[in-house]
Amino acid sequence: MKKIISNQNPLIKKLRLLQKKSSERKKNKIFVLEGIKEIKKAIINNYKIKNLFVSENSFLLKSNNEINLSKYLKTSFILKSELFKKVCYRSSDNNIIGILEAKDHNLHDIIIPGKPLIVIIQSPEKPGNIGAIIRTVDAAKVDLLIIADPKTDIYNPNIIRSSLGSVFSTPIAIENSKTIFSFLKSNKINIITAAINKNSTYFDKIDFNLPCAIVFGSEDKGLDNNWIKNSNQIVQIPMNSNVDSLNLSVSAGILIYHIIKKNKRINLIK
């Protein structure tokens, strides 16, 4: 393994640029990942590693129990301790940083079961909310998460962090709303939108029979009216105060777990 001591090293400059710029991640189809647990989860889910950076004080240099670094010797680098601290997006106790190849997340490349439960979020912007929803979708064993008309890069460091690495194990498709409409209709999937209006029904009054897709809007603008017009049912969560809405990830969590319980899929969770 080669050693890097300078902040001006081209690889270090590239690493920092990838951390900061979504455009760089998209253009090069690569992203930065920190932490041993997250990197292990990415490897298990067939993400390809391009480079690894390890602190000179890391326990990983003394033991290969966590990740077999010998597999990546040609593209791995030891960083001076101070340099490693500077390039860490999170805390410097992560011990390892990787540059990995991104996946395409094409909707038509994903195989779904006969009666799927699909969660769709349209134009979400807050990485923390997106990561939390991904984590919930993974925990509930939802068949597919679709991000419609994306405004935030799925490999944003804050999405990865808040999902606790679930972004790597969750089936995720990224597509525009028009294509998603066509996909849902061709597969005869019921569309249930979450919105507060005169036609909405409280969630405990709806059957949520599968196959169905539950659709959520963005944090500030809500769901696009085209989704509401094309939905089979509109659902809302009752609130007993002057609060007019719930946090996006909280709303998604409530409805996702209600749906899996309603369809007796709760026993899949162990």
Residue-level pLDDT at 266: 65
- Look up residue 7 and give its amino acid: N
- Which positions ≥6 away from 112 have C-beta within 8 Å? 118, 143, 144, 187
Residue-level pLDDT at 37: 87
Residue-level pLDDT at 269: 47
Domains and CATH numbers, the chain: 2-101 (3.30.1330.30), 107-268 (3.40.1280.10)
CA–CA distance, 195 with 215 (Å, rounded to integer): 9
Residue-level pLDDT at 62: 67
Residue-level pLDDT at 220: 80
Residue-level pLDDT at 194: 94
Residue-level pLDDT at 58: 76
CA–CA distance, 204 with 83 (Å, rounded to integer): 54
3-state secondary structure at position 260 = helix
Q: Is the dihedral of CA 114, 115, 116, 122 positive or negative?
A: positive
Which of 117, 112, 126 lies closest to 217 in space, CA to CA?
126
pTM (2 d.p.): 0.90
**Mean pLDDT split into 10-residue runs, the chain, 270 residues:** 91 94 96 91 94 84 66 86 86 78 95 94 95 96 96 94 95 97 95 91 92 92 91 91 83 95 70
Residue-level pLDDT at 49: 94
The 10 Å CB-count burial string (b at 16+, else e) for 18-39 is bbeeeebbeeeebbbbbbeebb
